[in-house]
Amino acid sequence: MALAVVLTAEPMNALDGSVVYTALPSIQADTGSSAAALQRIHAAYALTFALGLATGGRLGDLYGRTRAFLLGTGVFTAASLLCGLAADPGLR
């Protein structure tokens, strides 16, 4: 079961990273972002991922891996929706 979860989660991570990198030029064109703002967006994504990975692992140990995985998926979905609705890079 753990293998199935890992094999499901890893492609989600790769896909999400690809989406972020692919979307940066569109974000720049749509919002008029500077190169520095795009770097901050990229850094914020990487930092959030790293912090979520460590925290999610600990929460999985405490409250159960399935519950932590489902909670993480829900938080990721909500955060992605909010980022998609942001009007400028300061809100992303």
pLDDT tens-digit series, residues 27-45: 888 888 888 888 888 888 8
| CA dist 75 → 3, 7, 15, 91 (Å) | 22, 20, 17, 17
CB atoms inside a 10 Å sphere around CB 64: 12
Supply φ then ψ for residue 69, to 5 degrees: -65, -45
Asked if 89 contacts 31 with a C-beta cutoff of 8 angstroms, the reply is: yes
For 72-92, the pLDDT digits (tens) are 889 889 988 887 787 776 665
Query: Which residues, 6 or more positions from 55, have their beta carbon under 8 angstroms from its beta carbon?
Result: none
Q: Does the predicted model carry a pTM greater than 0.85?
A: no
